[in-house]
Amino acid sequence: MLLKLTCLIPLFPLIGSIINGFFGLKIGKKAVGFIACGSMTLSFLTSVLVYVGYLMLPEGQHVYEQVVWTWFGASDFNVDFGFQVDPLTLVMIFVVTGIGLIIHVYAVGYMQEEFSYYRFFAYFNLFVSAMLLLVMGNNFLLMFIGWEGVGLCSYFLIGYYFEKKSACDAGTKAFIVNRVGDFAFLLAVMYIFNIFGTIDFTEVMHAAPEKLIYAGEAVTIITMLLFVGATGKSAQIPLYTWLPDAMEGPTPVSALIHAATMVTAGVYMLVRCSVLFNLSPMTMTVVAFIGGGTAIMAATIGMTQFDIKRVLAYSTVSQIGYMFMACGVGAYTAAIFHLVTHAFFKACLFLGSGSVIHGIHGEQDMRKMGGLKKHMPITYWTFLISALTIAGIPPLAGFFSKDEVLYHSLMDGNIIFWGMGISAALLTAFYMFRLVFMTFHGESRVDPSVHPHESPKMMTMPLVVLAGLATVGGMLGLPFLHGWHILHNWLEPVLHFDLANALQHSEHMLHEAGRHAPSWAHLLEPKEHNGWIEFALMVFSTVVAITGVVGAYIFYIKRPDLPEKFTQGQWGLDMVQNKYYVDELYDDVFVKPTVEGSNLLWKECDAKAIDGAVNGAAKTIGWFSRQAQTLQSGFVRNYALFIVVGFISLLLAMF
């Protein structure tokens, strides 16, 4: 019966948001903070209760669905406003409410000085609510409410400082780029309904092997569209450009939305639809490639940035690339595993950077930092732990999750994917420690008028908690204890997929249609889990990570002149530093032509051609009218002439 509480989980933050939004200005900052954090706490506690309730479900039942009301429908199409609780959802709920709660607490401290404090928390709570809808919805459209809802909150929060043009632009850009993804997502949903006659997750996933042909056109298009949707939300190539700009928002926003939760929604969606993706090898390949490519590309850009938050942003893009690569090779557990650990350490990193920025009064440029270690020890140590985690140093959480991704990319994918992954890992270790060294070590380059100081408890406590989680998070999936991989076992009911059965159905369907099925026998060959290879890879990636760290140490501590030397006169650097000119490219290819074309359309087509035709018709009539008028000369003999002319013409017409 505890599961009946499910619908309360997203409701609490929503209520918090409404209260803060409407009455925030009247009730004062303290109350606002209390309501925001309180609603998050309630939500988290409810999640725990729901978890307990879920554990008490009878054997064999993996999904609990709660339909609150029928949202809308027409004919045989019906969408429920319903929630589902299954292992995957539970993982996501805990990530969202847990990390959400921590970051809320942090934000209470961080945003203390802001005038529209209440506005921030209204949006923030609303975001959590939307994110919960996203992960809890039992059908594609409910997920889409959340999907757009988080995008909307992201828009508000990026543009929180709405008097800054760059912030507004960034917000708008984020929303519109996301909309491109949403466009594809919507089409996918329609296609799914077209095929399945339902958009309920459970039903679709259950029916998929029977209704879709392996590698068929439909499944490929659906999954491709879904994936495009995911690239929008999760900032993958080609739709990643909004995320770095999104750093205009307050830092807690970056931590919660643009690192821990919202941007991973794409990964969640892919895993949720794993059955569909499994049926389309082509999409899988594309997903893996895009993921791997994004991981490398973002990492390279990350190496050249100087804005502390932007580095982290590119790092996020890169890490999500990992997750997609994992999905692309079918290692969904690894993807979720990395998602969870990434949420821990990246949130910690962002909050740490926020603490730094807070400590030196809003400066974000790393070139104006340095030597902050002694001023803000807690921040430093937590930041360091997280950096080590992301770099993949054992036995921290990031090591295990990243390693699992790499292992699967080699074993289930091929060497190219693994190569991408491992080189990205090298770059990650390097740029993370470039960040750490430039910020906390070396000489202080801070503006002398600024006195760096450690942040208040309210902000450091969340850092500690997150660093702790980043440290022990790896327990979720220890590699050697095969069969004891907690996350794997936990997610098994969601990810279960019977390929043989699906192939059999496909063959049957193809025969029905009079087509010959290609040979799929090789797909069914069983694969062994090779512990030794895994171990070897682990060692190798550890070495790579350490190499990266050491490299950063040499470049930024030992020989600070080296980066200058290496990059002197390199055309490549310029390109990377300018993010491969992708923004400019999009601007030239999409934005400007659209705006200019629209102007043209308006001024030339609408005003001149269409309206011109309308007014032209009126003018023509006017012209004729004047002609008709001049005929009326006032001379009687003229009039008589008309009668005669009329007579003659009538005669001619008659005979």
Partner 1 sequence: MEPILAPESIDLIALAPVIVLSFFAMMVLVVDLFGGRNKTLLVFISLVGLLMTAISAFAKNPIPAYSFNDSYIVDHLSLFFICIFTISSALAILLSVEYNEREGIRAGEYYALILFCTIGMILLASSTDMIMIFLGIEIVSISLYVLTGIRRDNHRSNEAALKYFLLGAFATGFLLYGMTMVYGSTGSTNLFKIAEVVQNPSAQSNPLLLMGLVLLIIGFGFKVASVPFHMWAPDVYQGAPTPITAFMAVGPKAAAFAAFFRVFAETFPEMAPSWEILLSTIAVLSMFFGNLGAIMQTNIKRMLAFSSISHAGYILIAVIAKNSLGGSSLLFYMLAYAFTIFGLFGIIIILGRKGEENLEIENYSGLAYRHPILALSMTVFLLSLGGLPPFAGFIAKFYIFSAAIQQGLITLVIFAVLNSVISFYYYLKVVVFMYMKEPEAEFQISLTPLTLFVVFIGVFVTINMGIFPGSIIALASH
Partner 2 sequence: MLENSVPLSHYLMLSATLFVIGVAGVLIRRNVIVVFMSIEIMLNAVNISLIAFDNYMNLSNGQIFSFMVMCVAAAEVSVGLAIIIALHRNKPSVNLDDFNLLKW
Partner 3 sequence: MFLTLITFLPLIGALFLVFMPKESVAAIKQTALAVAVADFLLSIFLWTNFDNTSHKMQFELNVPWIEAWGINFHVGLDGISLLLYVMTTFLTMICVIASWDVKIHVREYMIAMLTLSTGMLGVFIALDLFMFYVFWEFQLIPMYIIIGVWGGPRRVYASIKFFLFTAVGSLLMLVAILWIYLHIQETTGVATADILYITEHLSAPLGTQKWLWMAFFLAFAIKVPMFPFHTWLPDAHVEAPTAGSVILAGVLLKMGTYGFLRFNLPFFPQASYEFVPMIAWLSIIGIIYGALVSMVQVDLKKLVAYSSVSHLGFVMLGIFALNPYGIQGALIQNINHGISTGALFLLVGIIYDRRHTRLISEFGGLAKIMPKYAICFMIVALSSIGLPGMNGFVGEFLILLGVFQVNGLWAACATSGVILAACYILWMFQRVMFLEVKNPKNMNLKDMNVREMFTVVPLIILIFWIGLYPKPFMDTFDASVTHLVSKVNPDNFRPKQEHHDNDHNDKQNEKHGEHARLITPTEMASLNHTLQMPALIKE
> Where on the chain is the footprint of partner 1 (CB under 8 A)?
621-622, 624-629, 631-632, 634, 636, 638-640, 642-643, 645-647, 649-651, 653-655
DSSP state of 115: T
By a kind-dependent CB cut-off of 5 to 8 A, residue 451 interacts, out of partner 2, partner 3, partner 1, none, with none
Q: How far is Cα of residue 89 from the mean position of the Cα atoms in its chain?
A: 17
Peptide bond into 238 cis (omega under 30): yes
Q: Token pair of 280, please?
A: 């389309």
Name the residue nearer to partner 2 (CB basis): 75 or 625.
625
User: Could you tell me if 388 and 396 are in contact, meaning their C-beta atoms sit under 8 angstroms apart?
Assistant: yes
CB of 91 to partner 3, least distance (A): 15
70 binds partner 3 (CB under 8 A): yes
Task: Determine the Cα–Cα distance for residues 482 and 407; give it in Å rounded to an integer.
Answer: 14
Contact 169, 245 (CB under 8 A): yes
Nearer to partner 2, 75 or 629 (CB): 629
Minimum CB separation of residue 617 from partner 2 in Å reads 23
Does 504 contact partner 3 by CB under 8 A?
no
Residues 6+ apart with CB under 8 A from 643: none
Contact yes or no for 451/442 (Cβ under 8 A): no
Select 516 or 637, whichever has its Cβ closest to partner 1: 637
Nearer to partner 1, 486 or 641 (CB): 641
Query: Considering CB distances under 5 to 8 angstroms, the limit depending on partner class, which of partner 3, partner 2, partner 1, none binds residue 646?
Result: partner 1
What is the phi-psi region of residue 249: left when phi exceeds 0, alpha when psi lies from -120 to 50, beta otherwise? beta
Where on the chain is the footprint of partner 2 (CB under 8 A)?
A: 629-630, 632-637, 640-641, 644
Residue 157 CB-half CA count within 13 A: 31
Q: How far is the CB of 270 from partner 3 (least distance, A)?
A: 13
Q: Nearest distance from residue 597's CB to partner 2, in Å?
A: 47
Residue 86 binds what, of partner 2, partner 3, partner 1, none (CB under 5 to 8 Å, by partner type)?
none
- Nearer residue to partner 2 within complex by CB, 644 or 653: 644
Does residue 166 bind partner 3 (CB under 8 A)? Answer: no
- For residue 502, the minimal CB distance to partner 3 (Å) is 9
Based on CB atoms, which residue is closest to partner 2, 55 or 636? 636
Element (H, E) at 147: helix 140-158
23's contact among partner 1, partner 2, partner 3, none, with CB below 5 to 8 A by partner kind, is none
User: Which residues in 85-116 are b (16+ Cβ under 10 Å) and which e?
Assistant: bbbbbbbbbbbbbbbbbbbbbbbbbbbeebee
Which of positions 196-215 make contact with partner 3 (CB under 8 A)?
A: 196-197, 210-213, 215
- Give the 3-state secondary structure of residue 329: coil
Q: Which does 624 bind (CB under 5 to 8 A by kind): partner 1, partner 2, partner 3, none?
A: partner 1
Strands (E), 13-163: 64-74, 77-85
Q: Does 332 bind partner 3 (CB under 8 A)?
A: yes
Angle at 251 between CA 247 and CA 252, to 5 degrees: 125
Q: Do strands 64-74 and 77-85 pair parallel, antiparallel, or not at all (unpaired)?
A: antiparallel
CB of 606 to partner 3, least distance (A): 6
Of 190 and 546, the one with the shorter C-beta distance to partner 3 is 190
Q: Report the partner that residue 645 touches, choosing among partner 3, partner 1, partner 2, none (CB closer than 5 to 8 A by kind).
A: partner 1
74 binds partner 3 (CB under 8 A): yes
Binder among 152, 461, 478, 582 for partner 3 (CB under 8 A): 152
Nearer to partner 1 among residue 513 and residue 654 (C-beta): 654
Q: For partner 3, which is the closer residue by CB, 21 or 53?
A: 21
Burial class (CB within 10 angstroms; exposed 0-12, middle 13-18, buried 19+) of 163: exposed
Q: How far is CA 224 from the centre of its chain?
A: 16
Which stretch, 70-78, 256-264, 350-358, 574-582, contacts partner 3 (CB under 8 A)?
A: 70-78
Q: Identify the CA nearest to 296 among candidates 319, 313, 268, 326.
A: 319
Closer CB to partner 2, residue 194 or residue 632? 632
What's the CA gap between 380 and 173, in Å, rounded? 33
State in angstroms the smallest separation of the CB of 645 from partner 2.
Answer: 10
The yes or no reply on residue 416 touching partner 3 (CB under 8 A) is yes
The Cα–Cα gap between 433 and 341 comes to 19
Please, what is the Cα angle at 625 between 619 and 627, to 5 degrees? Answer: 110
Binder of residue 187, out of partner 3, partner 1, partner 2, none (CB less than 5 to 8 A by kind)? partner 3
Cβ neighbours, 10 Å, residue 27:
15
Is residue 486 within 8 Å of residue 475, measured between CB atoms?
A: yes
Q: Looking at beta carbons only, is 77 or 639 nearer to partner 1?
A: 639
- Is position 481 an interface residue for partner 3 (rule: CB under 8 A)? no
In the list 77, 535, 581, 642, the residue contacting partner 3 (rule: CB under 8 A) is 77
Helix (H, G, I), strand (E, B) or coil at 365: strand
Please tell me whether residue 137 adopts helix, strand or coil conformation: strand
Q: Tokens 């949707």 belong to which residue?
A: 229
With binding defined as CB under 8 A, does residue 606 bind partner 3? yes
Judged by phi (left if over 0) then psi (alpha if -120 to 50, else beta), residue 28 lies in left
Q: Which is nearer to partner 2, 513 or 636 (CB)?
A: 636
Q: Which is nearer to partner 1, 61 or 638 (CB)?
A: 638
305 binds, among partner 2, partner 1, partner 3, none (CB under 5 to 8 A by kind): none
66 belongs to the binding site for partner 3 (CB under 8 A): no
176: contact with partner 3 by CB under 8 A = yes
- Residue of the chain from 43, 66, 220, 254 that contacts partner 3 (CB under 8 A): 220
The binder of 332, among partner 1, partner 3, partner 2, none, by C-beta within 5 to 8 A per type, is partner 3
Cβ atoms of residues 258 and 383 within 8 Å: no
